[in-house]
Amino acid sequence: MSGIYIHIPFCHQACHYCDFYFSTSLKLKEKIVEHICKELELRKDFFNENSKIESVYFGGGTPSVLNHTELERIVKALDLHFDLGNLKEFTFEINPEDVNDSTIEIWKKNKINRFSLGLQSFEDDLLKYLNRKHTGEDGIVAINKIKQAGFSNISVDLIYGIPGLSMLLWKNQLEKIIDLSIPHISAYCLTIEPNTVFGNQLKKGKIIPVDEVLAQEQYFYLHEFLEKNGFEHYEISNFGKPNFTSKHNTSYWNGKQYLGVGPSAHSFNGEKRMWNVANNFNYIKSIESNSLPLEYETLTKNQQLNEYILTGIRTKWGIDLNKIKLEISKIEFEQFKNKINHYIHSNLLKIENDCAILSIEGFWKADGIAGDLFL
C-alpha cells in the first residue's frame, strides 16, 4: 500500500499555535497549483511498478482554499501520472468556514470520499484564543452539511490542554462529537512551538503555559470515553470507529512508501527520506527549471530500525520484537530487551504476540520511551 500527500501551503489566517509551512497571502496560489502538477509529472516514476496507490491526502495549510478549477487541475494530474485504480481513500482537509453547498458539490465531483475537519473546539472563546476563523456553531453546521450530502467518512480535529479548557468543557466537547455521530477523531495536546504567535507570547510572559497535569487528565479521559463509545484508540492521537481508521496515516506509521508533493512535503521510498523546500518562491523556481526542490538522507540499517521503533510504538500494533531480533546482534538485542522489561515493570509497556505495545500511560510518554529504545 502506497500513498500520495499533496501539501497546499495557504490559509485564510494564521492560527496562533501552528508551525506548519503556509502563507496567508493567496497571490501565488494559482502558480503553486501549476507547479504541483508539474512536480507530479517529474515524480511519476517514484513508485515501483508493483506499488498500489491506495490513498491520496490533501493537507496543508488549508486545501479547502482551492477553487474548483485548481482542485480539478491537481486531480487530473494525479490521474494522468499515477495509477489510481486501487484508490480506496481520498482525504481532503477542510475548515468549517469553507463548507457550503457549492464547495461540497466541487469536492464530490473530484473523487473525495473522506474529510478531515479542522474543528479544534466548539467553544467560541477558545476558538478566538487559538485565532480560528470559525465559530463552534459553524463547525456543527459544516458537519451536518457534509453528512446531508451523503458523506459518512468524516474526521474532526480537537485540541486539549488549552488554557481555559476545564475538564467540564472538555467532557462537553466529547459529548457533542458523539451526538454528531462522528466516526473518527484526531485529538492533540496544545504544543507551544518557538516560531509561532504563542511561542513569542510565552517568551514574553503574555500567556499562561499549558497545564501538563490537566492536559494529561484530559487525555486519559479522552481515551476512556471514546473507547466506551465504540472507538478504537489505534494511534496516540487517533481514534476511529470500526472501518473508519485512516488508511493514509496508518501507512505512515507502518513504514510504507509515500510521495509528498508541494512546498515542505516529505516523502519516503523505504530507504531515503526526502523533503521539499519550505518556501513557495524557491519551490516554484526549482520546478520551473525541471529540478526537484528537495533534500534527502539515505537511512542506515540502524536508522531504519529507529524509524520503525519511533512510528510503530505510537500505534496499537506496537513494535515486533522478532523483527528487531533479526536485524541486530544477540548482545544488542539483550540490551534492547532489558529496556523493554524496564518499561513493562513500570506499567508503560506490555507484550502481546511478541510485540511491545504501550499502555495508555505509555502513550502519554511515547516520545521519551521511543528515544530510549533507539538502537
Query: From CA 350, how far away is CA 375, in angstroms rounded?
Result: 20
Taking only the tens place, the pLDDT of each residue in 51-87 is: 889 999 999 999 999 999 999 999 999 999 999 999 9
pLDDT for residue 209 is more than 90: no
Taking only the tens place, the pLDDT of each residue in 20-40 is: 889 999 999 999 999 999 999
Assigned architecture for domain 300-375: Orthogonal Bundle (1.10)
Assigned architecture for domain 2-252: Alpha-Beta Horseshoe (3.80)
pLDDT for residue 49 is more than 90: no
**pLDDT bucket at 307, cuts 50 / 70 / 90:** very high
Per-residue pLDDT, averaged over 173-198, amounts to 95
Question: What pLDDT does 285 receive?
Answer: 97
pTM over 0.85: yes
Q: In this prediction, what percent of the chain has a pLDDT beyond 90? A: 92
Taking only the tens place, the pLDDT of each residue in 289-302 is: 999 999 999 999 99
**Domain boundaries defined on the chain:** 2-252, 300-375
Query: From CA 257, how far away is CA 2, in angstroms rounded?
Result: 5
Taking only the tens place, the pLDDT of each residue in 113-167 is: 999 999 999 999 999 999 999 999 999 999 999 999 999 999 999 999 999 999 9
Question: What is the 3 state secondary structure string of 63-92?
Answer: HHHCCHHHHHHHHHHHHHHCCCCCCCEEEE
Per-residue pLDDT, averaged over 189-217, amounts to 92
Q: How many CA atoms lie within 13 A of 224 on its CB side?
A: 8
Query: From CA 71, how far away is CA 28, in angstroms rounded?
Result: 15
3 membership: H or E segment, kind and range = strand 2-8
- Crossing angle between the packed helical segments 212-228 and 167-179, to the nearest 10 degrees: 30
Q: In this prediction, what percent of the chain has a pLDDT beyond 70? A: 100
Same fold, 2-252 and 300-375: no
**pLDDT bucket at 16, cuts 50 / 70 / 90:** very high
Taking only the tens place, the pLDDT of each residue in 254-267 is: 889 999 999 999 99
Helix (H/G/I), strand (E/B), else coil: 210: coil
Please provide the average confidence, as pLDDT, over all residues in the chain: 96
- For residue 263, the Cα-to-chain-centroid distance in whole angstroms is 16
